[in-house]
């Protein structure tokens, strides 16, 4: 048996949002002796290569969009130089580094011991941590949390796929591509396609089916696809990729061979950036789950119940590594609840994350928001005869000054169930949807009914008022 160099009440493997939230709650609020281990930068995907730098980039793209639209309001704006992507990128990096430092200080303030290294489980109560300098420490813990997150996938079966980047590599780009192809149909592909386009790249989005965001309500799928095409993003439906090869004499450029609905016999496109956004896998390589007896599903994700319990009675898991709902606020909430349950005493013995009615937003152009069931899912669950749908489509007042071809859509749908017309789904597309949904999400979470929405006096003139005036 390896020598024991450290002992603690709680070992947290993974320094992302969920792991850190749990570690800080266990130590800072409940006094558990806690050690957190992270092999990369503190903050995980969200802070370093996800939500935070993504939203900063979305902001830049939204500003570019606004500058384009300003002429309709009478502004004469002359561009004296192109968008300085490199300066923007470095300022964004500086912001992320400041957040890394804040996370480290928060751990210190909550008396969480932090080890920077790679952890490997030895058994159900211990792990070996390989530190940056190659030295090894063994940590023995009463309880262990696996919160190692995930990483983006690259298709191994496509020759030359390594010439592309993933969402991680997006944030390493020093220059804005002239022509970019994104492969994928989830929110990452859709968000990044919108950002590339509005910042000035010729943008191609390759999807396997007719629409993207296919887990969202059909209204969202159809509307955002149409809007992206209106804006000038080139969508390749029913596409496959055969191979990618470097272009001779053109450093940084590549040729992708593909098929799509318009070219079923094959075509090629020259690119200076290819981004794979085809899904994510759990970060479990060399974690030693088998040594501890932790069970995984067919995707490699750690199997955990709603209380974050794994198949081993003192090992827990949350966040992207177990794949329940892969959103940062979900991991944070689950982490805090788990910290409460494990160390908060009898008052918290049943504390757990509620995975029902979690609001989510896609920072597309325009934004998309959703909470609860899509219309098809609601029909499947409750039956068509028990579902009533209210919907509206209109042009937001912001676009009143613009030519018809410049006007973006706004569409809302409220899905209600039963005689009481309880709201079981809300789906919104249009400017401001992200901020709007947070408030309406509280109402849905509380079990609001259609008449509760109707009873709220509208705020005029806003787009949100349409949600309380639907007929």
> If residue 58 lies in a helix (H) or strand (E), which one and from where to where?
helix 51-69
204 is catalytic: no
Centre a 10 Å sphere on the Cβ of residue 396 and count the other Cβ atoms it contains. 18
Task: Specify whether the backbone of 85 is left (phi greater than 0), alpha (psi in -120 to 50) or beta.
Answer: alpha
Residue (of 36, 17, 16) closest to 26 by Cα position: 36
Residue by residue, DSSP assigns 61-85 as HHHHHHHHHGGGGT-----SS---H
Helix (H) or strand (E) holding 268: strand 267-271
Q: Which pair of tokens denotes residue 162? A: 């390594």
Give the span between the Cα atoms of 307 and 317, in whole angstroms.
9
Residues 6+ apart with CB under 8 A from 101: none
E strands, 340-395, are 360-362, 368-372, 387-394
What one-character DSSP code corresponds to residue 434?
H
**CB 264: neighbour CB atoms within 10 A?**
10
Please return the burial class of 459, using the count of CB atoms within 10 Å of its CB with bins 0-12, 13-18 and 19+: exposed
User: Which residues are part of the catalytic machinery?
Assistant: 460
């Amino acid at each position: 048996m390896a020598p024991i160099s450290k002992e603690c009440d709680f070992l947290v493997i993974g320094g992302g949002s969920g792991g850190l939230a749990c570690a800080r709650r266990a130590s800072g609020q409940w006094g558990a002796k806690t050690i957190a281990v992270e092999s990369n930068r503190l903050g995980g995907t969200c802070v370093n290569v996800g939500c935070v730098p993504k939203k900063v980039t979305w902001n830049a793209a939204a500003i570019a969009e606004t500058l384009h639209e300003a002429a309709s309001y009478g502004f004469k704006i002359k561009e004296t130089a192109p968008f300085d992507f490199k300066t923007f990128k470095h300022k964004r990096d500086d912001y992320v580094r400041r957040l890394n430092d804040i996370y480290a200080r928060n751990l210190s303030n909550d008396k969480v011991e932090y080890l920077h290294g790679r952890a490997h489980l030895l058994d159900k109560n211990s792990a070996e941590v390989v530190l940056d300098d190659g030295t090894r420490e063994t940590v023995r813990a009463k309880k262990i949390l696996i919160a190692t997150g995930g990483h983006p996938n690259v298709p191994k079966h496509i020759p030359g796929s390594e010439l592309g980047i993933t969402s991680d590599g997006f944030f390493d780009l020093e220059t804005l591509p002239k022509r970019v192809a994104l492969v994928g149909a989830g929110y990452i592909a859709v968000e990044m396609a919108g950002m590339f386009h509005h910042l000035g790249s010729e943008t191609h989005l390759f999807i396997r089916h007719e629409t993207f965001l296919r887990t969202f309500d059909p209204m969202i799928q159809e509307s955002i696809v149409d809007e992206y095409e209106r804006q000038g993003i080139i969508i390749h439906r029913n596409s496959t990729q055969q191979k990618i090869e470097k272009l001779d004499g053109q450093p940084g450029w590549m040729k992708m061979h593909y098929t799509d609905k318009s070219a079923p016999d094959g075509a090629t496109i020259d690119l200076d950036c290819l981004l794979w956004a085809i899904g994510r896998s759990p970060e479990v390589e060399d974690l030693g789950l088998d040594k501890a007896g932790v069970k995984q599903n067919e995707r490699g994700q750690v199997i955990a119940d709603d209380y974050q319990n794994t198949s081993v009675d003192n090992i827990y898991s949350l966040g992207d590594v177990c794949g329940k709902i892969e959103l940062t606020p979900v991991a944070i909430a689950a982490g805090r609840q788990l910290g409460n349950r494990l160390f908060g005493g009898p008052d918290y013995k049943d504390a757990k994350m509620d995975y029902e009615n979690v609001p989510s937003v896609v920072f597309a152009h325009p934004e998309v928001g959703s909470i609860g069931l899509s219309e098809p899912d609601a029909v499947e669950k409750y039956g068509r005869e028990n579902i009533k749908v209210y919907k509206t489509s209109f042009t937001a007042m912001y676009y009143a000054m613009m030519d018809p071809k410049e006007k973006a859509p706004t569409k809302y749908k409220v899905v209600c169930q039963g005689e009481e017309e309880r709201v079981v789904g809300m789906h919104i597309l249009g400017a401001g949807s992200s901020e709007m949904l947070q408030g309406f999400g509280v109402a849905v979470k509380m079990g609001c009914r259609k008449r509760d929405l109707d009873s709220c006096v509208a705020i005029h003139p806003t787009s949100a008022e349409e949600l309380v005036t639907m007929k």
